[in-house]
Structure formats: C-alpha cells, structure tokens
Amino acid sequence: MRKFLILLIALCSTAIVNAQSTYSRAIGVKVPGGFSATYKQFLTETNNVEAQLTLWNKGYRASALYEFNFYSFKNVEGLAWFVGPGVHIGFWKDNYQKDYNSRADFGVDGIIGFDYKFKDIPVNVSVDWQPAVTLVGSAGFTPSYGGIAVRYTF
C-alpha cells in the first residue's frame, strides 16, 4: 500500500500540464451499482467537487467527493484522469431482521478514474473506481463502487 501511495503521488506531481477543464458544471447519471444522479462543479481549473445520490431497491447513499484533475494526455484534447477523497452516508432496509430493520452507515471514499469532454457537444463521459471504507454502521471495505457516468455540461 505504501509503494502504491508513493507511486500515486509521483504520478500526480509529474502529470500537471497547462490545461484546464472545458466546462464548469455537469449533471447526469452514473451506473452500475444502483442508479446514481451526479453533479460536478469545478472550483478551480483543475479541482472540482462532485455530489452523487445513489438509489437501489433497499435504500440510498449520498456521496461527496473532492477531485484533482490531471490533463496528462497532450494528444487527446478533453481527456483527463482524476483522483480524490470523499465521504458517504447511506440508509437502507435490512430484510433479515424482524425488528429495527432500518440501517444507516457513514464512511470515507476514494475515487480514481478518467474523464472525457466531447469537443463539439455539451457531454462528458467518465469511468471511475470508487472504493469505500464504512466506519459507522455496516463497517468494512467495499471495493465494488464505481461506474460509468454520462453528464450534460454547462
């Protein structure tokens, strides 16, 4: 894990180029792992916040993420990779318990992925991996979050 973090920091420190996002806000959907509504807002040319609300048949989960964007692919305009921390809170029904079957959890997330903004249309597509560590509630590591998002940009 330590070697992975050192490698990630080295990549981040060498990958910054003079580029910026071509949009300031985006709203859309993300699948799989339930159905997620996603909103992305750039705070600077290379940093953004993202809010996600994920719905599935037993409940919902809200996530807030802070993402660092790196425009390392000089030959592919509109392509960036991103990484960042976040938090989540979730509520769901647990059908295995007769009493007290409503549950809640809270934890921290990480996110890493690729983002592509189409040049001539107001659409971006991203693919990411969003592992989570739940600290309160159903505690543990969940490596299976992430997906593909399609957003309208403005």
So where are the chain's domains? Answer: 2-153
Sign of the C-alpha dihedral computed for residues 145, 4, 73 and 43 taken in this order:
positive
pLDDT of residue 44: 97
The answer on pLDDT for 57 being more than 70 is yes
Q: Which amino acid is at 73?
A: F
Nearest residue to 149 via CA among 26, 22, 31, 23: 31
pLDDT of residue 53: 97
Q: Which residues contact 77 (CB under 8 A, 6 or more apart)?
A: 119
CA distances to 39, 93, 129, 130, 142 from 59, in Å: 20, 6, 21, 19, 17
CA distances to 6, 12, 16, 21, 57 from 35, in Å: 34, 31, 33, 26, 10
Pick the range with the lowest mean pLDDT from 8-17, 36-45, 142-151: 8-17
CATH number among 3.40.50.2300, 2.40.160.20, 2.160.10.10, 3.30.420.40, domain 2-153: 2.40.160.20
Q: Are 124 and 118 in contact (CB under 8 A)?
A: yes
Cβ-count burial of 112 within 10 angstroms (0-12 exposed, 13-18 middle, 19+ buried)? middle
Give the pLDDT band (50/70/90) at residue 19: very low
pLDDT in tens, 74-132: 899 999 999 999 999 999 887 665 555 678 999 999 999 999 999 999 999 999 999 99
pLDDT of residue 96: 60
Alpha helices per DSSP H over the chain: 2-14
Cis peptide bond upstream of 32, omega within 30: yes
